[in-house]
Amino acid sequence: MTVPARTQVAIIGAGPAGLLLGQLLQLRGIDTVILEAKTPDYVLGRIRAGVLEEITVRKLREAGCGERLAREGLVHHGTGIAFGGALHRIDIQGLTGGKVVTVYGQTEVTRDLMHARESIGAHTVYEAQDVQLHDLTSTTPSVSWLKDGKRHTLHCDFIAGCDGYHGISRASIPKDSIRSFERVYPFGWLGVMADVPSLPELVYAHHERGFALCSLRSPTRSRYYVQVPLTDTVDQWSDSRFWDELLQRVDPLTASRIVTGPSIEKSIAPLRSFVAEPLRYNRLFLAGDAAHIVPPTGAKGLNLAASDVHYLSEGFISHYRERCDLALDGYSQRALARIWKAERFSWWMTQLLHTFPDQDSFAPRLQQAELQYLISSETAQRLLAENYVGLPT
């Protein structure tokens, strides 16, 4: 398919943020072209998020991607918190007046969005190398990229930077026009995927050996994580070492339910909190991981990407359909208000459940007190549940 020389919104990045934005705009008659540095297989090969808030599910439905999600997504009404040898259940649905989360892998979200885009014949350029953003301060910006030994140029009205934390979009904003706020944690998560029967609900475990998480992708595919030092590498973790460590960190009941087996994927991800402000530089708008990172403990990254896209798509739609720029002008402020609340929750879950090296003897006692308070207070559980299902947009 030849790429046109002009589009309305050029989108950088075909992760969930870029694909969802593209779909919501195309379906409202707004033309988009997506430029992605990698191949579709590479994008689909990244194993990441698993828990979707209701707003994310709603947006995916709106994007025409609700069918398989309704069939295969697993609705979860509660989640486990394990510590001190016991498993405690947070009744997410009961504490939030009926809200739930849906377990459906990011890989599947991305696959559905890719198919939906393909089926409406919208343009996506994969393996677009050395993407550059031009004339961002003019009303006629453009993007260019290298492919098949040639530089191509696309003129547009706006650019949506949906190219993740390491992308070119945020890096193209002059340093004095953007501020960043960052917290780096002194550990990472080692994640393992295995085709073994999964637990019926997620379990977040705190243990003196470190955090662990039991998650899933389907009744027969499990996803588990353990906190590891940043210096660890995947080859130091044989399957048997991983299972042995996981079983020590969860409560005995959960341990007795876990089925072990050969891993089909294993990777280590560092944990970070990061926000860039504002989310706009003239004709360039940032959304998703390009604008912010949360540690995965609160399961908020993909969901925040979806809520950014919700606000940003509303902005573009009212610009093109109603000739009104109020929503576009308010995008950064509106999105940041929700982003910071998710940053706070993700930081809170992270500090509640992990072990921190080099801290004084006071901190673990506070952590124990907070965990005890959480399991003994319905009010404390409600706070967790309300944030976990996602705050209103």
Take residue 41 and report the two structure tokens written for it. Answer: 């297989």
Contact flag: residue 263 with ligand PHB (CB under 6 A): no
Q: Of the candidates 11, 24, 51, 213, which one interacts with ligand RFL according to CB under 6 A?
A: 51
Q: Which of 16, 104, 141, 204 is catalytic?
A: 204
Q: Smaller CB distance to ligand RFL: residue 166 or 365?
A: 166
Residue type for position 162: C
354 is catalytic: no
133 Cβ partners below 8 Å, 6+ apart? Answer: 12, 141, 143, 159, 161, 168, 169, 172, 284
Contact flag: residue 215 with ligand PHB (CB under 6 A): yes
- Do 355 and 58 form a contact (C-beta atoms < 8 A)? no
Q: What is the DSSP annotation of 205-240? A: E--TT--EEEEEEETTEEEEEEEE-TT--GGG--HH
With CB under 6 A, what is the number of residues at the site for ligand RFL?
37
With CB under 6 A, what is the number of residues at the site for ligand PHB?
10
| Cis, peptide link before residue 278, omega less than 30° from 0 | yes
Which residue's CB atom is positioned nearest to ligand PHB?
50
Q: Of the candidates 69, 109, 128, 371, which one interacts with ligand RFL according to CB under 6 A?
A: 128
CB of 8 to ligand PHB, least distance (A): 34
Distances (CA, A) of 363 to 189, 237, 352, 367, 370: 21, 29, 10, 6, 11
Q: Which of 207, 292, 300, 310 is catalytic?
A: 300
- Do 368 and 351 form a contact (C-beta atoms < 8 A)? no
Distance between CA atoms of residues 161 and 10, nearest Å? 9
- Do 335 and 83 form a contact (C-beta atoms < 8 A)? no
Distances (CA, A) of 91 to 76, 77, 268, 270: 10, 7, 30, 30
CB of 133 to ligand RFL, least distance (A): 10
Tell me the window of 41-49, 89-97, 277-285, 334-342 that interacts with ligand RFL (CB under 6 A).
Answer: 41-49
The interface partner of residue 122, options being ligand PHB, ligand RFL, none and the CB cut-off 5 to 8 Å by kind, is none
Contact flag: residue 51 with ligand PHB (CB under 6 A): yes
* Residues of this chain that bind ligand PHB (CB under 6 A): 49-51, 202, 213, 215, 223, 296-297, 299
* Residues of this chain that bind ligand RFL (CB under 6 A): 12-18, 35-38, 43, 48-51, 106, 128, 131, 162-164, 166-168, 189, 191, 269, 288-289, 296, 299-303, 305
